[in-house]
Amino acid sequence: RGQGAYLNGRRIHVSAQKELSKSLVITEFGASRDVEKMKNHFENYQNILPKVHGIRMLGAAALNLSMVAMGAVDINFEIGTHAWDVCAGELLVLEAGGVVIDPTGGKFDIMSRRVLAASSEELAQEFAKQLTQFYPQPRDD
């Protein structure tokens, strides 16, 4: 901690993107096919898609957080992840100059099974305001 984030020996940094409308978002749908959870995800996607440059899904929370850390995407949010899915990625984002918060805009709690990472506090908070649905998850602790 406190030494920065590196990829193949090269220092990495989050993007400099400040505008939500130009931001590339990465997220995951998750493994659950619970009807209510799917409805909540779709409501969030429907709300945020017109307000951002694009949305991508690659398949793993750790990979998604790494993409934020290296500046390949600007925002990552996920609901339903476990602590072990995000613990290393959180550190990468922070060491690369980004922020990690709760998707409601509050302080990140690794046991909450929710995460929002972004290149800046301002971008994270602006994005958090766009999310309307938070499917209840059992905590990891």
Which is it for strands 99-101 and 75-79: parallel, antiparallel or unpaired? unpaired
As beta bridge partners, residue 94 has none
Sheet holding 75-79, edge to edge: 54-56, 24-27, 75-79, 114-118, 99-101
Q: What is the DSSP letter of 107?
A: B
Q: Annotated binding residue at 85?
A: yes
Please give the annotated binding residues for Mg(2+), written as ranges. Answer: 85
